Structure 1
Amino acid sequence: MVDLKNRNVEISLHFLIWLALFFLPAAFSVGSDTDWIGLFRHFWLQLIFLAVVFYANYTYLVKHLFEDKKIGFFLVNLALILVLIFLKNQISDWLEPNRRRHLLKRPPAALFYFMDTLIYMIPVAFSIAINAGKKIQKAEEMKIEADNIKLQSELQHLKYQLQPHFFFNSLNNIYSLIDFAPDKAKQSIHSLSKLMRHLLYKTDVPAISLPEEVEFLNKYIELMSLRLTDHIKVYTNFPKSVPDMKIAPLLFISIVENAFKHGISATQHSDIHFKMEISENDIYFTASNSNFPKTDADKSGSGIGVENLKKRLHLLYPGKHEFHSCLNNDLYIAEIKITTDS
């Protein structure tokens, strides 16, 4: 459909250009004693033959001979041009029988053939330039398409990588509840099923609404909070009214998971803070937590979450995101800033 539309635009453009070229000589002759035969012989006949040379090259010769058979290309063009010059002279003689008599005092015919040949080479050069431009444009379009396919494949891979990571972390959380809080474990399984439904049906799109993403985060934080003891405090500060902005799904879950994984201790007081601020098209998300790094023997998570997030931000929001993380007074802080288009 797009190719047909482009083709129609191209035909219309060519038609308007040649219409203007044919109209101009007549327009300049308005108000004078116009000699239509002379106008045809001096201007329109030349334009017709220039058009023949142009379209012979534009539609066939440049595409089939110029790349591989350059000598043949120039020989065919030379033969075509000489035939057209001969025909033009024959038609001119037929339209103006006395023309030969006036030409006797003019320079040799070979010079006229040479000058006409140079003129007829102009549309040849134009057709070569246009076809070369089209080829470059097509190559660029193919490169862009290939880059898009690669980008989508990489994003899909990262998404598939993230979902099992999320699922395993949630299962670890539920597993820890089974022995000492079976009722909470049952509730966790029910909550996890809702979250997995969101993962299955709401994240297989380029973008979702920000309110849906915030709701998902709240449900996940509730799920993870079920196994926390009284000495662990979780604080959320999300906007009460979340604007209906579009955002790539699952952008914040990695640092939320990270905060629960590294921010709680079984024996020490622990704090986890989540904050989201929205300013026009900018979204700021901050997660800060007490820092209790896991040992190499701890297999509760695969450790791919934050790296996955960095790659996705780079692919989804090039030049429109910031990610910072630091350790400040035993408090780990991760910050994301995203500039959206809506």
Structure 2
Amino acid sequence: MQRSYLAILLHGFLWLLAFLYPLFSLDDISNVQYIINRNWLSVTSVFLVFYINYFVLVNAYFFKRKKLQFYIINVLLIAVLFFLIQYFLTWNAFNPSINGIRTREVRSGQMSSIQLILPMILSVGMCVGLKINKKLNKNQLALQQVKQAQLSAEIKYLKYQVQPHFLFNTLNNIYALVDSSPEIAKESIHDLSKMMRYLLHDSSTNKVPLAKEIEFLERYIDLMQLRISSSLTLEKSFPVINRPIKIAPLTLISFIENAFKHGIDAVQDSFIKIELKIDNDEIQYSVINSSFPEKEKVTNSGIGLKNLKKRLELLYPNKFELFTKEENNIFKATLILNFKE
């Protein structure tokens, strides 16, 4: 709406200059009225040609591929206006006179005709150019809106994949506790309800405070540890957040999910080391865990890390680095994310 008002003001300003120009270009004071009338008549003809094309002809014919009709109508329009101008120029109002005797005859001939017709032709070309530019901008805006809608839909799809994936892993964990530790299972369900509140409400926004995301990770880790044997060594390091940092929800959970699902064994010693740092406008996040290749052969690696990479490409293009490395039965996942908007 604001751009429409600006366009109207710009059009009005330019035409005001065109009509005022004769007042600032007078070189013969004795013929003031003659010069003004003649110039205003010419400017009016250009004005009519321009806006008849702008509001009617370009949309009705040029953009609908009826270009022959468009050119024919414009030729007829310019011809009609040209003969009208020639007729008006015979009136006394357009000729200087003293005591009813003309002191200067109206110029006629080829040069005078070109001076009248050429500005009208140029106004048609200018109008077509403006309308094409306006249409291109409108199409580009519509294309951007479509792309943005597709992007939002894809981001939502990927985020909704994370939620059932997380819920499936957590419920499996609680199920294992029902028989052996029913009281702990009850507490786990209570903790899960709090986490689901984050998934359903907080994560529905585009960005969440980093502090809330870390709180969610802490709850998840506590829940996972309930059924883990003493063979697991877990280290975690989260910073105290003292500044308003926001990130896309569920960005950090995939590393930890992957570590708990594929990095621990019921018999062999295993470990998980989680570290998150804030360095200026960057989050430096890494999870290192033990790896069991023979387990990977029978366990589907899930959608976690692949999903995370797709989401980061959509949400933080050219603003993140994601690395994964596995050697000597150790798996390391690292994310460096620039969260500055």
- Alignment-derived partner of residue 54 in structure 1: 50
Partners of 1:99 and 1:91 lie apart in 2 by 18
Kept in 2, the 8 Å contact 1:259–1:287? The answer is yes
**Gap regions ≥5 residues in structure 2:** 97-101
- Alignment-derived partner of residue 147 in structure 2: 147
Kept in 2, the 8 Å contact 1:211–1:242? The answer is no
1:247-292 CA-partner distances (Å, limit 9, x unpaired): 1100111111001111111112211111111122211111111112
Kept in 2, the 8 Å contact 1:232–1:271? The answer is yes
1:265-304 to structure 2, matched below 5 A, reads: 265-293=265-293, 294-298=295-299, 303-304=302-303
Compared CA separation, residues 16 and 34, structure 1 to 2 (3 A): farther
How many Å apart are 1:99 and its aligned residue? 7.9
Partner-residue secondary structure (3-state), 2:321: strand
Partners of 2:275 and 2:247 lie apart in 1 by 17
Aligned residues: 332
Kept in 1, the 8 Å contact 2:42–2:116? The answer is no
> Structure 2 counterpart of 1:168, which letter?
F
- Alignment-derived partner of residue 319 in structure 1: 318
Partners of 1:297 and 1:205 lie apart in 2 by 36
**Gap regions ≥5 residues in structure 1:** none
Kept in 2, the 8 Å contact 1:286–1:335? The answer is yes
How many Å apart are 1:71 and its aligned residue? 1.6
Partner-residue secondary structure (3-state), 2:236: strand
Compared CA separation, residues 174 and 33, structure 1 to 2 (3 A): same
> Structure 2 counterpart of 1:17, which letter?
L
Does 2:17 correspond to 1:11? no
Deviates more, 1:239-248 or 1:138-147: 239-248
**TM-score, normalised with respect to structure 1:** 0.90
Does 2:70 correspond to 1:73? yes
Kept in 2, the 8 Å contact 1:81–1:117? The answer is yes
1:114-170 CA-partner distances (Å, limit 9, x unpaired): 453222111100110111111111111111111111111111111111111000000
Kept in 1, the 8 Å contact 2:262–2:301? The answer is no
Kept in 2, the 8 Å contact 1:93–1:99? The answer is no
Kept in 2, the 8 Å contact 1:287–1:333? The answer is yes
- Alignment-derived partner of residue 261 in structure 2: 261
Kept in 1, the 8 Å contact 2:89–2:106? The answer is no
Compared CA separation, residues 102 and 36, structure 1 to 2 (3 A): closer
> Structure 1 counterpart of 2:309, which letter?
K
Partners of 1:274 and 1:34 lie apart in 2 by 91
Partners of 1:330 and 1:83 lie apart in 2 by 88
1:166-177 to structure 2, matched below 5 A, reads: 166-177=166-177
How many Å apart are 1:240 and its aligned residue? 1.9
Deviates more, 1:54-63 or 1:287-296: 287-296
Partners of 2:211 and 2:83 lie apart in 1 by 76
Partners of 2:19 and 2:281 lie apart in 1 by 53
Kept in 1, the 8 Å contact 2:232–2:270? The answer is yes
Equivalent of 1:84 in 81, 92, 100: 81
1:272-314 CA-partner distances (Å, limit 9, x unpaired): 111111122211111111112434544xx66111111111111
Deviates more, 1:42-51 or 1:21-30: 21-30
> Structure 2 counterpart of 1:57, which letter?
N
> Structure 2 counterpart of 1:336, which letter?
L
Partners of 1:341 and 1:40 lie apart in 2 by 60
Partner-residue secondary structure (3-state), 2:289: strand
Across the aligned residues of Structure 1 and Structure 2, the Cα RMSD in angstroms comes to 2.1
Partner-residue secondary structure (3-state), 1:93: coil
1:107-256 to structure 2, matched below 5 A, reads: 109-110=109-110, 112-256=112-256
> Structure 1 counterpart of 2:51, which letter?
Y
Partner-residue secondary structure (3-state), 1:172: helix
**TM-score, normalised with respect to structure 2:** 0.91
Partners of 2:67 and 2:30 lie apart in 1 by 44
- Alignment-derived partner of residue 337 in structure 1: 336
Kept in 1, the 8 Å contact 2:95–2:106? The answer is no
How many Å apart are 1:101 and its aligned residue? 4.8
* % identical aligned pairs: 37
> Structure 2 counterpart of 1:314, which letter?
E
1:84-105 CA-partner distances (Å, limit 9, x unpaired): 12222222221217488564xx
How many Å apart are 1:234 and its aligned residue? 1.3
Compared CA separation, residues 123 and 101, structure 1 to 2 (3 A): closer
- Alignment-derived partner of residue 306 in structure 2: 307
- Alignment-derived partner of residue 99 in structure 2: none
